[in-house]
Structure 1
Amino acid sequence: MRNSPLWFRRTFAIAAGGILAGALAGCNVGPKYKRPAYPAPPAFRGADEAAVTSDAQNSLGDQNWVQVFREPELQALIRTALTNNYDIQIAAQRVAEQQAQVQITRSQEFPTLSVGGTGIGASFNSSTFGSSSGSNSISSPLSEGSFNLSAAWTPDFWGLYRKQTQAARAQLLAQTWAQRAVRLSLVQSVATTYLQIRALDRQLDITKQTLKARQDSVKLTQTLADGGAAPLSDLRQAEQLLYTATSQIPQLEQQIQQQENAMSLLLGDNPGPIVRTSPNALTPPPQDLPTGLPTQLLERRPDIQQAEATLVAANAQIGIARAQFFPQLTISASGGVGGDSLSSIFSPDGKTIYGIGSLAQPLFEGGKLRGQLNIAKETQKEDVFAYQKTIATALHDVSNALIALNKQRVYREQQEKLVDAAQDSTRLARMRYQGGATAYLEVLTTDTNLFTAQLNLVSAQQGEALTLVQLYSALGGGWQ
């Protein structure tokens, strides 16, 4: 009676139920994650105190990039880049790959179930055995078949598979934040490249205007030299000014076209020209931009969130390594029916049910398990330092951007005054030369200084415009 299939099924069900209850009550080894402490300052260095105290909770980084970069041409370029850029598409595929990896890892927590069957059949006539008598023929086929169902399960007593799933999900989260960091970087790169192109455009316009003025100066000096009113050296000095301007043009055109190619790559397009017509690209950014509190960076900056997700995964790896020290129980069971004829496969007498269980406990592996645990612990410590360094780098970026925002404004204002003074000085020098009160050397010096000051002013305007891009990116804006 004890050997009957019914008794075996009941015994197996009771044993499996006990193991399941033990698995559900089993411990989950490994440390619980706790965010590392970091002594963040109360405010960013370089921030305007009035802006900090008046609106401490709001931040430029919370705004969508459309609200920050209001130039329609730039907005169109950013939209195209966010759709077609190859890095964006690669980052999206990496997230999809990690999602599949989470699914694979999590599947280890569940039982596996498989089904199978076999069948053999043959039919012979009398000629097969060399008999001409119909009475010697085999009227029914010789058949044999079976149908079976099997299952296997490794209960997660110590949380090994749960920790592996936790680590995989943390890596998925890290990959998701990495995708957002790529988006933020792309918005910054498009805006930066656009401002560089517009600054080069303005420098090229200044150079062409200077070239025309110097061509007129060469004609005037040529006329004076031909009439004996000016020495030949004045003509040669005027030509020096002319060729200085003409040599600048191909260099600027080269930089413009190369920057256009860089923009085309960001847009996911082949090299080609970039259409731009707006005259307000280098408009100074507004003053008193809200920065918010340094602690907000921990939730907003994608690189900080990515570093923390990586730390969570490393923390889970410690639990995985510890779970390797404990025994692993694997339970398997199979059931089937069979018979020597197809019609008897599902006969009650053909049922067969059996169960198998295995238990493995590591005893000695030459220090491998201890080494794996030590590696997991040291990797977690390394990731703590990486997380804290990422926060420190973020604070550094914001402070530098704020300092640049304030100082670049002052530099641009002083550069404007320098251009005004250089223009007046050049005008007076030309008047003195035409009146015969000075040598052409004075015209050469003042004109050179003016040209340099004008180009430097454009660089100052570009630098000031870029500080808005840098501050917005440093505050973690642009991926929303």
Structure 2
Amino acid sequence: IGGPTLDIGSSIEAENVVRRERRSDRSGSSGIGTSSTSGSSDDESGLEGAAEAGLLFSWVPDLFGGQKRGIEAAEAELRARTFLRDDLARITAVEVVRRYLEIRRDEARLDLIDASLGLQRHTLDLVEQRYQAGLASRLDVSRAEAQVAATQALRGPLRQDLARARAALAVLSGRVPGAPMLAPGDGMPQYRGGPPLGLPRDLLRARPDVRAAEAFLAQATAEIGVAEAELYPMLSIPGDLTWAISGLGSGEVIESLIATLALGLDIPLFDAGGRRAEVAAAEARSQEALLLYRGTLLNALADVEVALANLVAAQERRDDLQAAADASDRAVAQAEQLYNQGLTGFLDVLDAQRTLLDNHQDLAEAEAAVSLGIADLYSAVGAPVTKADVAR
């Protein structure tokens, strides 16, 4: 799947940058500087010069864990965004399967219409022969012609549905609509495995949206520690190390090394309750993230229950329609035989043929619903739909 719906890698890369910046803030900072000067002197040497190099550094000890919790929050947010990308891929995969199944379903229905047209045209030829032999009425011929025309008219809407499904699949896969994409199919894919069931803890590990909500909860919890650390004094230790040399070009060179170390203490005295308000806000965001996590988990469990119920219902309907289609096949053969023997009217033949087409069309819909139900179940439990899972 390579469509534009998955182009969100830049946001995750941005989170990587933020995480690296927070790590660098925790480790401190340093810098190097150099300088040199030259000038004239009063002695006979003429010119003398000087050079200087310095190293500046600063370190802020993480006394109350604020920097550590900040890094934890950034890493949790990065995990959450990665899981959201995976969840988008899961949703997109189901949509791809849905459009693919719609294409194969519509192709199967078109094949059924063509087969029914062949049967109905054959019946029309027989009726015309019987009419010419004086064994059938002109009404029977008109009825047969009307049924052929009505069945032929079913092809147009199906072709429209097929074009829409192909265009939607092209967009989802990042291709130009109308470009060749799928080889001619040989019917609806048949699933040959069992349902991807598991324990609830397996569901928690597999669903990326659940894992994203859990990561957002971890981020919100870590941000409480960041806000609490702002309530306490912050210690900073800046310093520098300078090496200097003078008298270059004169007969006497003087070197010196100077080190400076300082201590800074930032104590929050009065901020009108601003820092404690930040702590309260962080705690409120944590509670909101907890509610979001619980809601996401419950929705995931509901998705599994609904997917299981839909799959069972679709399988039962498919089996019932298969029996109905088989009975329709027998009914058509029996009606044609009785009609040729003069034991039943032509309306019975037409009715049997209409029922045959309707039942087989419904069976194609049911087979597509079963395949889609399996894909929905895989998506609900967070399992990927792979080529090994579906065999034609």
Compute the TM-score of the two structures, normalised by the length of structure 1.
0.69
Q: Is the 8 A contact 1:257 1:273 kept in 2?
A: no
- Equivalent-residue separation in structure 2 for 1:380 and 1:342 (angstroms): 64
Question: Hey, what does 1:250 align to over in structure 2?
Answer: 156
Question: Hey, what does 1:395 align to over in structure 2?
Answer: 301
Question: Residues 479, 364 of structure 1: CA spacing in aligned structure 2 closer, same or farther, 3 A cutoff?
Answer: farther
State the Cα distance separating 1:410 from its structure 2 match: 1.5
The answer to whether structure 1 residue 418 and structure 2 residue 312 are counterparts is no
The answer to whether structure 1 residue 462 and structure 2 residue 360 are counterparts is no
Q: Which among 273, 282, 307 is matched to residue 180 of structure 2?
A: 273
Secondary structure in 2 aligned to 1:98?
helix
The answer to whether structure 1 residue 380 and structure 2 residue 286 are counterparts is yes
- Equivalent-residue separation in structure 1 for 2:235 and 2:344 (angstroms): 101
The answer to whether structure 1 residue 300 and structure 2 residue 217 are counterparts is no
Question: Hey, what does 1:261 align to over in structure 2?
Answer: 167
Q: Is the 8 A contact 2:246 2:254 kept in 1?
A: no
Question: Hey, what does 1:184 align to over in structure 2?
Answer: 90
Q: Is the 8 A contact 2:38 2:49 kept in 1?
A: yes
Amino acid at match of 2:55: L
The answer to whether structure 1 residue 164 and structure 2 residue 81 are counterparts is no
Question: Residues 479, 314 of structure 1: CA spacing in aligned structure 2 closer, same or farther, 3 A cutoff?
Answer: farther
State the Cα distance separating 1:167 from its structure 2 match: 0.6
State the Cα distance separating 1:411 from its structure 2 match: 1.0
Amino acid at match of 1:273: P
State the Cα distance separating 1:142 from its structure 2 match: 6.9
Amino acid at match of 2:190: T
Question: Residues 387, 227 of structure 1: CA spacing in aligned structure 2 closer, same or farther, 3 A cutoff?
Answer: same
Q: Is the 8 A contact 2:240 2:261 kept in 1?
A: yes
Secondary structure in 2 aligned to 1:292?
coil
Question: Residues 412, 204 of structure 1: CA spacing in aligned structure 2 closer, same or farther, 3 A cutoff?
Answer: same
Offset from partner CA, 1:368-424 (integer Å, 9 cap, x none): 323322221111111111111222122212222222232222211110121123333
Question: Hey, what does 2:390 align to over in structure 1?
Answer: none
The answer to whether structure 1 residue 115 and structure 2 residue 32 are counterparts is yes
Q: Is the 8 A contact 2:66 2:226 kept in 1?
A: yes
Secondary structure in 2 aligned to 1:168?
helix
Q: Which among 331, 338, 354 is matched to residue 237 of structure 2?
A: 331
Point out where structure 2 has 5 or more consecutive residues left out of the alignment: 387-392
Question: Hey, what does 1:148 align to over in structure 2?
Answer: 54
Q: Which among 50, 56, 80 is matched to residue 174 of structure 1?
A: 80
Point out where structure 1 has 5 or more consecutive residues left out of the alignment: 1-80, 124-135
Amino acid at match of 2:170: S
Amino acid at match of 2:218: V
Q: Is the 8 A contact 1:285 1:468 kept in 2?
A: no
- Equivalent-residue separation in structure 1 for 2:299 and 2:327 (angstroms): 41
State the Cα distance separating 1:150 from its structure 2 match: 0.7
Offset from partner CA, 1:177-197 (integer Å, 9 cap, x none): 334334434443443333332
User: Please, what is the CA RMSD of the aligned residues?
Assistant: 3.5
Amino acid at match of 2:19: V
- Equivalent-residue separation in structure 1 for 2:283 and 2:268 (angstroms): 21
Q: Which among 334, 340, 354 is matched to residue 260 of structure 2?
A: 354
Question: Residues 361, 228 of structure 1: CA spacing in aligned structure 2 closer, same or farther, 3 A cutoff?
Answer: farther
Q: Is the 8 A contact 1:181 1:479 kept in 2?
A: no
The answer to whether structure 1 residue 312 and structure 2 residue 218 are counterparts is yes
- Equivalent-residue separation in structure 2 for 1:401 and 1:248 (angstroms): 32
State the Cα distance separating 1:460 from its structure 2 match: 0.8
- Equivalent-residue separation in structure 2 for 1:242 and 1:382 (angstroms): 63
Offset from partner CA, 1:216-254 (integer Å, 9 cap, x none): 444555666778866665455434422332232233233
State the Cα distance separating 1:319 from its structure 2 match: 0.8
Offset from partner CA, 1:93-138 (integer Å, 9 cap, x none): 5444333322111111112110112234579xxxxxxxxxxxx9x9
Q: Is the 8 A contact 2:188 2:368 kept in 1?
A: no
Secondary structure in 1 aligned to 2:263?
strand
The answer to whether structure 1 residue 369 and structure 2 residue 275 are counterparts is yes
Secondary structure in 2 aligned to 1:329?
strand
Secondary structure in 2 aligned to 1:181?
helix
Q: Identity, % of aligned pairs?
A: 25
- Equivalent-residue separation in structure 1 for 2:77 and 2:86 (angstroms): 14
Q: Is the 8 A contact 1:337 1:346 kept in 2?
A: no
Offset from partner CA, 1:353-379 (integer Å, 9 cap, x none): 433433222333344323322221111
State the Cα distance separating 1:284 from its structure 2 match: 5.2
- Equivalent-residue separation in structure 2 for 1:230 and 1:342 (angstroms): 127
- Equivalent-residue separation in structure 1 for 2:180 and 2:385 (angstroms): 27
- Equivalent-residue separation in structure 2 for 1:284 and 1:351 (angstroms): 79
Structure number having the greater strand percentage: 2
Q: Which among 11, 14, 19 is matched to residue 97 of structure 1?
A: 14
Question: Residues 390, 346 of structure 1: CA spacing in aligned structure 2 closer, same or farther, 3 A cutoff?
Answer: farther
- Equivalent-residue separation in structure 2 for 1:237 and 1:327 (angstroms): 95
Secondary structure in 2 aligned to 1:334?
strand
- Equivalent-residue separation in structure 2 for 1:379 and 1:172 (angstroms): 18
Counterparts of 1:6-25 in structure 2, within 5 Å, are none
The answer to whether structure 1 residue 477 and structure 2 residue 383 are counterparts is yes
Q: Is the 8 A contact 1:285 1:464 kept in 2?
A: no
- Equivalent-residue separation in structure 2 for 1:142 and 1:411 (angstroms): 101
Amino acid at match of 1:110: S
Counterparts of 1:122-141 in structure 2, within 5 Å, are 140-141=46-47
Offset from partner CA, 1:319-344 (integer Å, 9 cap, x none): 11111111222221123244676569
